[in-house]
Amino acid sequence: MISQPRSWLLLTACGLTGLAGLGGCDESETPDAAGVQLIIGRTGFGPREFSYPRAAVLDRRGRLYVVDKAARIQCFTLEGEFVLGWRTPEWEAGKPTGLGVGPDGRVYAADTHYSRVVMFEPDGTLVGQFGTRGRGPGEFLLPTDVAVDVEGFVYVAEYGGNDRVSRFSPDLRYEFSFGRPGAGPGELQRPQSLLVDHDGTLWVADACNHRVCHFERDGGFIDAFGESGTGLGQMRFPYGIDQLSDGTLIVVEYGNNRLQRFDRAGRSLGTWGGPGRRPGELAYPWALAAGPQDRVFVVDSGNNRIQVVTVFKPGIWDTRRPAPVLAVR
Amino acid sequence: MNVLAYVRFETPGYLALLATIPLLAVLSLRSLAGLGRARRVLAIVLRCLVVIVGVLALAGSQRTRPIGDLSVVFLLDRSKSVPEDLQRQAFEYVKRASAERGLDDRIGLIAFDGGADVEQLPMAALAVDQVSEPADPDQTNLAAAARMALALLPADTVNRLVLVTDGNENAGDVLAEAERLAAAGVPIDVLPLQYEHTNEVLVEELKAPPTATADETVNLRLSLRSQRATTGKVLLWHNDVLVDLNEEQPGTGFSVELVPGPNPLVIPVPLRVAGAHRFRAQFVPDRSDDDAIEDNNTGQAFTVVTGQGKVLILSTTRDLEGDQPSAEILRQALEREKLVCDVEVAGRTPLDQVRLLEYALVILSNVPAGDLRDDEKTALAVYVRDLGGGLAMVGGDDSFGAGGWLGSAVEEVMPVSFDIKHKKQFLKGALALVMHACEIEKGNYIGERCAIEAVKTLSSRDLVAVLAWRWISDQQGYFVVPLQEVGTRTPVINAIKKMDMGDLPDLDAIMRPGVQALLARKDVGPKHMIVISDFDPSPPRRDLIATMKDGGVTCSTIAIGYGGHPIDEQMARWIAESTAGRFYTTRDFSKLPQIFIKESREVRRSLVQESPFTPQLVNPLSPVVPGLAGEALPALHGFVLTTPKPLADVPLIRRSEEGDDPVLAHWQVGLGKTVAFTSGLWPRWGAEWVAWPKFSKLWAQAARWASRPSEAAAFDVTTNVHGGKAKLRIDALDKNADAINFMKVSGVLVTPGQETRPLRLTQTGPGRYEAEFEARERGNYIVNLGYRVGQGADAVSGALRTGLSVAYSPEYSQLQPNLALLEEVRARTRGRTLAGTDFAAPFERSGLPRAEAHRAIWENLVQWLLALFLLDVAVRRVALDPRVLYRKARRFLAEIAGRERPAGEAAAVLSTLKGARDRVREERLAARGPAGEPGRPPSSARYEAATPEAKATDDLSRALGGAAPDDKPVVARPTGKKPVQSEGDYTARLLRAKRRAREDREKKDER
């Protein structure tokens, strides 16, 4: 990096001679160029460090919770300052892959390999857990995500043979479930992320069917959009979904290493990102969380960081049909 | 502030150029004489600055910054010599020391034994709860740990290593690494782990004579060392059978009373048969409190009894449990010809060199490659090539290429290659590997090894594809290796080595393109897929499984788990069973390559040719088939396709339109001989052969030809091992008991890891020859030597085999720490010796060298240089008169103010200017001299324009609105005087000349 006075001097020199490109004049790409406002974290096991983060959720107070593959849940402010962190009760068999937060601020973790949901107070105190391994009502195989609606109803998605969404009452009594393994209407193949819409309906990132499904609160199937591919409107393994203030949906694609924005009818409004290590690029992204002022917190798992994107910055959405990437960068 | 403390130079030699500055200043004073005083000073200063900055850039200036942050990397010894509770305390120490670190300090952790593992890179907090399991606890390699630490140390902090160990090094050389760390300015603090075993009994040595003759009774010498008086029993195993040492008393061992210090014991053992005799002695204390370390209670030794060796026939359970085992048919045939045979299931008892020494020939009777471990295959190859043993492979549907032997060490020594390159009738197979092993420890490495092993067993014409979840964006990208011919293997293996297995979300996504690729090839016979995964991705869809079933794609699944991570065996089993594949599950990752070898055999089935044919004898002179000339050979009903190697002798072939295929081939390779018989599988492939009277004669002849010749024990050989060094001594006496001198003795040493090293003995006394070699590894060391005495026709040569055993790692012979070594390490690196209670010490700054970070600034200097240079030019070329500037500024301000200049003021200005003009004229006249002769003008030119002052006056008066005193145009007139040029005139002339030239050219163009 060229320090400020040096750059100034150099620019003066360039101006004097009228010669462009005397070296050092090319401006390096700043994070802001792709709408990345902030990058939180780096590789490691300390505070504000991640080892393959896989889920994130924002609460109403503006606290961001992130869980990584070291089974650590870390809490940050919206500006990325570390607040506190804790570990899930057990992690030998596997680590959580989904987080949800209730209207009361309670944090729910989909403890995937323990076939259960564990709950914490915002200060990290373990409150309890529910669910056991099985295929029966209220049981789970591999739970992936938890979403809680404004009334406190808890929705849990799972895969591994069940591939469904189960609903629990605010006092955590099992109510019903919907979806079954398959690619037909109302069927799911690894529902990886849940979103309760502003209107109370439910959106599901149906990862292995490469689509997004829309359900009523009672589990009634409304519609689905998306197909496998790299083009606009196509998806590869959508792993995370959230909603922006204008009602549009934003999806993170694990397979395409990008974000894609859709209107509620499923029309693509553009893509953002691509495989890479630089700001504005993603590696195996697992999740996202939309925050105030339409800042989206993207869990850039393979890069061990959270990228905060101001999604309404003009010009950052690519609405062209992207050419397939043939080589790994 | 001392500036020099913040700057340093990469090539300070260039600074000498600064000496030119005074010279430059003096020269500039003269050359810039035409400038005004102020400009001249400024120009010289700038010029000097240009040179100074240029020299500083050339000298490679770097800005230095003192470093305050500290990284401490702890090196924890987890080898067996350190008692476990002490290892726990050591880790506790690290945890408590970590709590004492500063805010920006970093902590790293390396655990080491025979190798070093990074537990944590230098980071802001200690994140590991425990040290990982030892990988090679039988050794202590301090050097490996130090080397690894040096590689981890960050460049932007001050660094320190803390070595927590007992210092009992038995591999590597830590002092050499210490020198390197000292050079890098990294101190090693040592925290010695103190212990002392006061109640310990250890077997120092079990010695057996390296060679003996049959029916000789040898004396085993057992040396026990005890720390105090104690009692116990000694047990002895002879070829893994417990020997009753004390027949009068009940039980098998005999009681001993040990005194403090060494306790020698002699145990006589009669040896009856030829071959290798292995002994293992163990001491069992009567009270377990009397012995702290159990691992050092055994001793091992072996004696080679020369004589006619036996034949070992290796077979499979499938064959031996059948009605008519092929191996039994072969054994009976050989025994009819007075050969002694053992028949065993391959892989049941491990094959090592000592065991192989018992045998003169090993026959692999339809044994698949997967039944033997890699090291056993290597042992067989070494046994043949370096130790002169014999090896025969007899065919069947699990042998040669069809048995997965392609690319193995055994193939290298066989007279035929198992690969088929130019056969039309050969139907190639296709194998697709679906790799998802990233989540297990060292998963990428293990996955890579498995895939490479599988590829190695394929023929060059087979097809292979490797699929893994990758960081790309289209389906084609799942192929690490697109379905292609194996070819030379190198490109495929290179591609596999670059494989980076990602976390796979969906098995279907990656299996589907693999299946599609397999089905697209119509020219392929067997189509097989191997899937390795923990099966937590989504399962393949039912339609894909149905497509595989219809298309004849078989699929085997290998479910792997780690730690407590669950495996979805149900899914793996379902895929395998639905597609007629096999299902495996294991948490022992060392078995994975064998599973891959076994599975990839599936595509090699087409190498087996099952149709009747009559073999043709093409070389009756072969030593393996004497007396078969003119004999009608019985028919065979099947064989395995192979390709003969260029130097092999191939007496029997199958002749067909496609060409000749070897049935029997043999050759000498290294010191040994090998035979390949590509048919076999009796009686299925040749009932007529078994019934043929010459069957046993042919086999006995082949066995005798390939068997290692027996040799007499010629010399007295002694071996001993101490402190990781083994010594081999030969006392060579002739029949008159005179020393044999000037003998050449050399050969190979085979280590327990099947590595072969050349060994040369040197004469150290009359008839005495000695060699020394490293023997730190546990196991048997075999030495195969050839000797040659005399010259020309009188020369006598022979061979001899001997060896020694290392029963346990030197780790277990250490009863106290090696403080002297630790002190030396500390002293060489200027470290400290820490106490186990001083937790703050590792992160203290004291004793650390001053560290600096350096940043090159020459690029910035070049920018400065450019700017200064431009300024320098500007000062010399652009003349700015401050008075004119002042007036212009005033005029500008006046215009802004819109103020009318009073006429009086303008007149005053004009009169001043006129005065100036008159003054100049007078001066000029005065310069021409009183006689009016032309003198030397102060600033003359060939063309004299109106004087600048006058011009300025005209311009100004016009500009100020006053009338010009003389409105005539200014005309240049020639003066005819020789010019003295100023630089400004010179530039003006150049410009005019240029203009003129352009005008001339334009005129010319018009014409």
- Residue A151's pLDDT is what? 92
- Please tell me which residue of chain B has the smallest CA distance to A71: B127
Nearest by CB to B566, from A22, A113, A207: name it.
A113
Length of chain B: 1007
Q: Which of A69, A144, A189, A208 to mutate to test the interface with B (most CBs of B within 10 A)?
A: A208
Rounded to whole angstroms, how far apart are CA atoms B112 and B81?
Answer: 12
pLDDT at A74 over 80: yes
d(CA A190, CA A180): 10
For chain A positions 59-88, those within 8 Å of chain B (CB to CB) are 70
Decide if B948 contacts B956 (C-beta within 8 A): no
Cα distance between residue A291 and residue A305, in whole Å: 17
With an 8 Å Cβ cutoff, is A134 touching chain B?
no
Mutate to test the interface with A, among B46, B471, B476, B500 (most CBs of A within 10 A): B471
Closest CA to A299 of A66, A61, A96, A34: A66
Of all residues in chain B, the one with the smallest CA distance to A95 is B565
**Alpha-carbon distance B554 to nearest alpha carbon in chain A (angstroms):** 23
| Nearest CB partner across the interface for B565, out of A46, A94, A208 | A94
Shortest distance, CA B499 to any CA of chain A (angstroms) = 11
- Greatest alpha-carbon pair distance for chain B in Å reads 152
Please list, residue by residue across B420-435, b when 16 or more beta carbons sit within 10 angstroms of its beta carbon and e when fewer do: beebeebbbbbbbbbb
- Alpha-carbon torsion (B42, B48, B50, B53), positive or negative: negative
Q: What is the CA radius of gyration of chain B?
A: 46
**Cα B805 off chain centre by:** 30
Question: Rounded to an integer, what distance in angstroms lies between the CA atom of residue B457 and that of residue B124?
Answer: 47
Q: Which of A3, A4, A10 to mutate to test the interface with B (most CBs of B within 10 A)?
A: A10
B573 reaches A (C-beta below 8 A): no
- Is A232 in the B-facing interface, judged by CB distances under 8 Å? no
Q: Measured in Å, how far apart are chain A's first and last C-alpha atoms?
A: 24
| Lookup result for tokens 């359900």 | A215
Flag if B860 and A3 touch (Cβ within 8 Å).
yes
* A243 pLDDT above the threshold of 90: yes
Q: What is the 3-state secondary structure (H, E, C) of B364-421?
A: EECCCHHHCCHHHHHHHHHHHHCCCCEEEEEECCCCHHHHCCCCCHHHHHCCEECCCC
CB-nearest partner of A190 from B120, B477, B505: B505
Q: Torsions phi, psi of B246, nearest 5?
A: -130, 90
Put simply, the answer to whether B502 touches A284 (Cβ < 8 Å) is yes
CA–CA gap between residue B755 and residue B382 (Å, rounded): 8
> What letter does residue B198 receive in the DSSP assignment?
S
- What's the pLDDT at B278? 86
d(CA B636, CA A215): 70
Nearest CA in chain A to B860: A6
Please, which residues 259-278 of chain A have a Cβ atom closer than 8 Å to chain B?
Answer: 274-275
Cβ atoms within 10 Å of B284's Cβ, excluding its own:
14
β-pair type (B390-395, B672-680): parallel
Which of A189, A235, A253, A277 is the best mutation test for B, with the most CBs of B within 10 A? A189
In angstroms, what is the C-alpha Rg of chain A?
A: 21
Query: Is residue A15 within 8 angstroms of chain B, CB to CB?
Result: no
Q: Where are the domains of chain A?
A: 34-310
Quick check: B191 and B209 in contact, CB under 8 A?
no
* DSSP secondary structure string for all residues of B416-437: EES---S-SSPPP-EEEEEE--
Contacts of B472 in chain A (CB under 8 A): 275, 325-328
Q: Name the residue among A13, A17, A161 with its Cβ closest to that of B863.
A: A13
Does the beta carbon of A160 lie under 8 angstroms from any beta carbon of chain B? yes
Nearest by CB: B564 against A2, A22, A92 = A92
pLDDT of residue B743: 87
Q: Which of B538, B574, B855 to mutate to test the interface with A (most CBs of A within 10 A)?
A: B538
| Cα A140 from Cα A116, distance rounded (Å) | 7
CB contact under 8 A, A93 and B859: no
Cβ neighbour number for residue A288 with a 10 Å cutoff: 25
Check if the beta carbon of residue B271 is closer than 8 Å to that of residue B217: yes
3-state secondary structure of B553: strand
Amino acid of residue A20: A
Instruction: Write out chain B residues lying below 8 Å of A255, CB-based.
Output: 473, 505, 509
Q: How far lies B422's CA from each of A287, B396, B415, B643, B922, in Å?
A: 54, 22, 18, 9, 111
Mean pLDDT lowest among A130-139, A155-164, B780-789, B934-943: B934-943
Residue whose C-alpha is closest to residue B688's, from B632, B614, B639, B635: B635
Predicted pLDDT at B950: 42
Q: Is B24 left (phi over 0), alpha (psi -120 to 50) or beta?
A: alpha
ipTM: 0.82
Ordered structural domains, chain B, with CATH:
3-65+855-877 (no CATH), 68-196+816-850 (3.40.50.410), 201-306 (2.60.40.10), 308-418+610-709 (3.40.50.880), 425-605 (3.40.50.410), 716-810 (2.60.40.1930)
Annotate B884-937 with DSSP letters as a single string.
HHHHHHHHHHHHHHTPPPPHHHHHHHHHHHHHHHHHHHHHHHHHH-TT------
Please report which helix (H) or strand (E) contains residue B550, including its range.
Answer: helix B542-551
The pLDDT of residue A314 is: 87
Which residues in A lie closer than 8 A to residue B506 (C-beta atoms)?
189-190, 207-208, 237
Helix spans in B552-693 (H): 569-578, 592-600, 687-691
Token pair 């500063």 is found at B102
H or E stretch at B22: helix B21-31
Taking contacts as CB-CB distances below 8 angstroms, the residues of chain B near A94 are: 565-566
Taking the Cβ of residue A125 and every Cβ of chain B, the question of whether any pair is shorter than 8 Å is answered with no
Class at the top of the CATH hierarchy for domain A34-310: mainly beta
Does the CB of B473 have a partner CB in chain A at under 8 Å?
yes
For residues A266-286, give the mean pLDDT.
92
Distances (CA, A) of A13 to A1, B692, B858, B869, B870: 18, 100, 17, 10, 8
User: Which pLDDT score is estimated for A4?
Assistant: 40
Q: Are B568 and A160 inside 8 Å of each other by CB?
A: yes
pLDDT of A281 higher than 80: yes
Gap between the Cα atoms of A176 and A186, Å rounded: 15
Side-chain half-sphere exposure of A161, counting CA atoms within 13 A? 17
B506–A327 CB contact, under 8 Å: no
Among B794, B788, B792, which residue's Cα sits nearest to residue B769? B788
- Interatomic CA distance for residues A298 and B874, integer angstroms: 54
Q: Determine, for residues B473 and A275 on separate chains, whether the beta-carbon distance falls below 8 Å.
A: yes
> For residue B972, what are its two tokens?
């240049």
Q: Is A16 part of the contact surface with chain B (CB cutoff 8 Å)? A: yes
N-terminal to C-terminal alpha carbon distance within chain B: 74
In chain A, helix, strand, coil percent, each to 5?
10, 45, 45
Count of CB contacts below 8 A, A vs B? 114
DSSP-assigned letters across all residues of B640-653: E--EE-TT-EEEEE
Top residue of B46, B109, B439, B506 to mutate, by most chain A CBs within 10 Å, is B506
Instruction: Provide the b/e sequence for A151-189 (b: ≥16 CB within 10 Å).
Output: eebbbbbbbbbbbbbbbbeeeeebeebbbebeeeeebbb
Contact yes or no for A190 and B506 at CB 8 A? yes
Determine whether the interchain pair A93/B541 forms a contact, defined as Cβ–Cβ distance below 8 Å.
no
Q: Do B870 and A16 touch (CB under 8 A)?
A: yes
How close does chain A come to B187, measured CA to CA in Å? 25
Averaged pLDDT in 10-residue chunks for chain B of 1007 residues = 71 90 86 79 89 90 81 92 89 91 88 90 84 84 92 86 91 90 91 84 85 81 87 88 76 83 87 82 85 83 79 93 91 91 91 86 92 90 90 92 88 92 73 83 82 87 90 68 90 89 88 94 90 89 94 92 74 93 85 84 82 90 83 90 92 89 93 93 87 90 86 73 82 82 88 88 91 86 85 77 81 81 92 89 82 79 91 82 84 77 60 75 66 44 42 44 43 46 65 80 67
Q: Which residue from B minimizes the CA distance to A19? A: B866
Picking from A9, A163, A324, the nearest residue to B863 by CB comes out as: A9
What distances in angstroms separate CA B234 from CA B252, B294, B757, one per listed residue? 9, 14, 35
Partner B contacted by A212 (CB < 8 A): no
Residues 6+ apart with CB under 8 A from B756: B382, B386, B748, B749, B750
